[in-house]
Structure 1
Amino acid sequence: MSIGMLVTLLRDGVFQILLMAAPVLGSALIVGLIVAVFQATTSIQEQTLTFVPKLVTILIVLALLGGWMFTSMRQYTINIFSAIGRITR
C-alpha cells in the first residue's frame, strides 16, 4: 500500500463525510439563523423555540435526502470493498 493510495482513501472518506453532513447542517444553520433573528426582533427568549424548528427541519431534510444519502454511502462502501483487493497486493 502506497502513501498515495492511503491519502486518496482518507481524502475520499473526509469528502464523503462532508457530503453527507452538509445538507443537514446547512438547513439547521439557516433555520437557526432565521429563528435567532425572529427572537431578536420580538425579544422572545424561549429555549424550545430554537430547538424544535431545527429538529423538524433536520427530520424533513433526512426524509427528503435519505435515499440519496443511502445511495451515496452504498456506492462509497462498494468502492472501499473493491479497493481492498488492490490495497493488499
Structure 2
Amino acid sequence: MNAGYVISFFHDALMLAAMLSLPALALGLVVGLMVSIFQAVTQINEQTLTIIPKIAAIIGALLVTGNWMLAQMMTFTTRVFTQIATLPG
C-alpha cells in the first residue's frame, strides 16, 4: 500500500461525506435564511421559530434523499472492501 492509494482513499471518502451532507445542509441553510428574513420583516424574535422549520426541512431532505445516500455509501463500502482484498501483503 503506497501513499497514493491512501491519499486517493481519503479523498474519495471526504468527497462522499461532502456529497452526502450537502442536500440536508443546503436546505437547512435556505430555510434558515428565509426564516431570518421573515423575522426581520415582521420583527418577531422568537428563538424556537428558527429551529423547528430547519429541523423539519432537514428531516424532509433526509427522507427524500435517504435512498440515494444509502446507495452511494454501499457502493463506496463495496469498492473499499474489494480494493482491500487486492492489496499485497
RMSD: 0.9
Matched, 1:48 2:48: yes
Structure 2, unpaired ranges of 5+: none
Work out the CA distance in 2 between the residues paired with 1:84 and 1:13.
Answer: 15
Work out the CA distance in 2 between the residues paired with 1:37 and 1:88.
Answer: 57
Counterpart of 1:73? 73
The list of structure 1 runs, each at least 4 consecutive aligned residues, that deviate by more than 6 angstroms after superposition, is: none
Question: Could you tell me how far 1:21 is from its partner in structure 2?
Answer: 0.4
Equivalent pairs counted in the alignment come to: 89
Structure 1, unpaired ranges of 5+: none
Q: Percent identity?
A: 35
Q: If the length of structure 2 is used for normalisation, what is the TM-score?
A: 0.96
1:1-89 mapped onto 2 (5 Å cutoff)? 1-89=1-89
AA matched with 1:81? F
Question: Could you tell me how far 1:85 is from its partner in structure 2?
Answer: 1.8
Work out the CA distance in 1 between the residues paired with 2:70 and 2:14.
Answer: 17
